[in-house]
Each structure stands twice: as C-alpha cells, then as structure tokens.
Structure 1
Amino acid sequence: MSEPYCLAMVLCDNVHRDAATGKHTILGTFSTLGAGKYPAKVSFCVYFAITDGLGPTKLRIRLVDAACGITDEVDGETEPVFEVSHEFPFESPLVVLEGMFQFKTEIPKAGLYHCEMWAGGELLMSRRVLAAQVSDHPEEDKGVVDHE
C-alpha cells in the first residue's frame, strides 16, 4: 500500500465545493482562534488535499494541546480536544483527494494546540492553532482610549 502524502491542510471558517466543476473554495483561513473566556465553543473546517494513497485509507483529524507533543498515544492526560475519522478510497496514487472535515467543539483553555492529520498510524501534517484570550473591549487592545 502506498504511503499517503499531504499536499495541503488549511484551517478555515468554511469550504464550498462547486457541484458543476468539483472545485473547492476555502473561506476565512486562520491560525488563531479568539474568545473572551474559556472554555470556548468553536466551529471550523479543515480543508485537505492528499495524494499517493492506494486503496481504502482511514484519515483522522484531531486537535491536541501542544504541551502534550505529537504522539498517537492516548492516555488520561493527553486525550485530544476532539478527534474524527473517515475512510476514503484512493483509486490510484496519482489521484489528489480533496475534502474537508467540519467541527463543532469546545476549546478548554487559552494556549497553543496542534491540529493533526493522520493516515493509519502515520502523521501526515500538523498545524499550530493559537487559542487566544481576547478583550471584551477591542478598542483597548488597539490603543484607542475614549476620553469622555
């Protein structure tokens, strides 16, 4: 079986797939999630493009606390924030499989996370995601002070 290769993994607000052409449009890319308080409920998509696969391949996306490092081991301390998987058929290693996973989850605390794409037991790609604490008063963050 061929070893899959990840060409792209993009965190975004949404992905539109044109029914007529099959082309994907990626909407609202980001690497930081902001919330006024944590835990915070978030929803986002992960667009991916993978090639060099052959046959049925289980792809898995997970979000983990960066302090845990990159590992496929799951124990009581390193349980992912979320994890989903789906099996995709690769007809040929020449095919580029494009798709997306859509998530609604809760980020437990502000900090650094990794969004990881796995095929079987192999890490294909990892993206950093910063969960930032944002002010309820954004004008203060920009140095704007209202002198009333």
Structure 2
Amino acid sequence: MQSKPSLLAWITCDGVHIDPASGKHTILGVFSNIKARSFPVVHPYMVWFLTLTDVQPGKHRVKMSMGLDPTNPVELLHREFESQSPLHRINLINELRNLRFEQPGDYSILIEVDDEPILATNLTVM
C-alpha cells in the first residue's frame, strides 16, 4: 500500500526568496491572521508555502480551497507538481493575489493532494 503525502511545513507569508547559488528558501513576513479596517477587504498578495514528503514518483495535483463555510470551500488554485522519489522534500510556493474577504471570521482552508485532504486549517480575518 502506498502512503499518502505528508505535510512537513505550512506557512502563510508575504513572499519566498530562493537563493540562486544555494537553492535555499528564505521565508519573508510570516503571518497567521489578517486585520482589516473595514469589509469587504482585498488582500493584494500572499504566499502559501508548503513542504511535502512521502509523495510517490510521478505527476500529482495540489488543490487549495477556502471559505467561511468549512463544508463548502471555494477552490482558489490548483497546480501540478512532480515527485522524483518519496524520500524527496517538495517545496511548493503558491501565490495568491487579490483574495477578497466579504466579512470577518475564521476562513477554513483545505489543502488536497490528488483529491486526498492533507491539511484542514483556518485563517482568521478581523
């Protein structure tokens, strides 16, 4: 039986810089909530950075959804990625632009790999 992918890191931040010489990732501006003066509010840019392991070789698909109703999140993005080996750590930098929040609350976030949930968390917007 194949294991499902494991999530090693999940970070919401302003950006990720990859050093061209070493390939190291520098995480910029980590945050866990959004404060707004009024609603609706549009957050211009954020990155959802995740690191996966135990991913079987081949092509895979990550899907990220969010919403105030945890039973009906809206898909924000999906993308393909490739794994060379289940031993590798795969860093995925996911840019989200102009996210609109209609009202304050705890927005549920669902991350899936090949339609299997690997993370359910939330982002507080106040």
Instruction: Give the TM-score normalised by the residue count of structure 1.
Output: 0.76
Cα distance, 1:116 vs structure 2: 2.2
Aligned match of 1:56 in 50, 56, 59? 59
Aligned residues: 122
Q: Deviations over 1:15-47 (max 9, x none)?
A: 111111111111111111011111111021101
Query: Contact 1:115–1:127 (CA<8 Å) still a contact in 2?
Result: yes
Runs of 4+ more than 3 Å apart: none
* Structure 2 unaligned spans of 5+: none
Q: What's the counterpart of residue 26 of structure 1?
A: 27
Map 1:6-85; keep pairs closer than 5 Å: 6-42=7-43, 43-54=45-56, 55-65=58-68, 68-69=69-70, 71=71, 78-80=72-74, 82-85=75-78
Cα distance, 1:90 vs structure 2: 0.6
Cα distance, 1:2 vs structure 2: 4.4
Does 2:117 align with 1:115?
no
* Structure 1 unaligned spans of 5+: 72-77, 133-148
Which amino acid in the other structure matches residue 112 of structure 1? D
Query: Contact 1:53–1:93 (CA<8 Å) still a contact in 2?
Result: yes
Q: What's the counterpart of residue 101 of structure 1?
A: 94
Cα distance, 1:79 vs structure 2: 4.6
The separation in 1 between residues aligned to 2:113 and 2:34, in whole angstroms, is 26
Cα distance, 1:129 vs structure 2: 0.7
Instruction: Give the TM-score normalised by the residue count of structure 2.
Output: 0.88
Structure 1 or 2, whichever has the larger Rg, is 1
Q: Deviations over 1:92-142 (max 9, x none)?
A: 10010012101111111111012222102211113321100xxxxxxxxxx
Q: Which moved more, 1:45-54 or 1:117-126?
A: 117-126
Which amino acid in the other structure matches residue 56 of structure 1? K
Q: RMSD of aligned C-alpha atoms?
A: 1.5
More strand by share: 2
